[in-house]
Amino acid sequence: MLLEYFQMIDTVTGVDREAQSLSARAAVPDESPVFEGHFPGHPLMPGVLLIETMAQASGFLVLALNGFERMPFLAGVKEGKLRTFVEPGAVLDIEATLEHDGSGFAVTRAKIESADQAICNANLTFRTMPFPKPDFAVMIRERAREIGLEDERV
């Protein structure tokens, strides 16, 4: 994870196209400028970044399922529950499942565990739309490749 660059996913560990789910892994860094403010002398992974982590796993799932044709943008967070604190160095197991593939939107369920302990979960809504510009699509595909996600169509 590079928190300050919003790179929340280290590795996609699996995509189950039949179950429409994706699993991923990420290690919270031991040090980050984020921890200098959150909180001084008591570093904790910000809850909003845990939500972002679930959103990115969900986003890569939606991209994998739509063949990288449309970009999912986070539009709604429901039933978000942050169950316990996450400290620097924690390894996160993230799972996202497609709940509904609508016309111009998608809904996922996502959760994070660490050492088999439930960390957080949420239901997320995305607007899906054409990439705003070609460079954007290239950048997203490149990032997907970096984390081990193939961009094959289902």
Partner 1 sequence: MTTPTFETVAEIISETCELPREEISPQSHAIDDLGIDSLDFLDIVLAIDKKFGINIPLEAWTKEVNSGTAPAEQYFVMENLCARIDELVAAKG
Residues 125-154: x where in contact with partner 1 by CB under 8 A, - otherwise, as a string: x-x---------------------------
Q: Closer CB to partner 1, residue 105 or residue 131?
A: 105
Neighbours of 67 (CB within 10 A): 11
Place of tokens 């996600």: 149
Q: Closer CB to partner 1, residue 11 or residue 123?
A: 123
Instruction: Tell me how far, at minimum, the Cβ of 38 lies from partner 1, in Å.
Output: 28
User: Is there a contact between 60 and 12 (Cβ–Cβ < 8 Å)?
Assistant: yes
Task: Give the Å distances, CA to CA, from 36 to 17, 32, 61, 84.
Answer: 40, 7, 32, 20
Q: Interface with partner 1 by CB under 8 A: which range of 35-43, 86-94, 95-103, 140-148? A: 95-103
Cα dihedral 20, 26, 32, 35 sign: positive
Instruction: Pick the catalytic residue from 7, 13, 32, 38.
Output: 38
Residues that are catalytic: 38
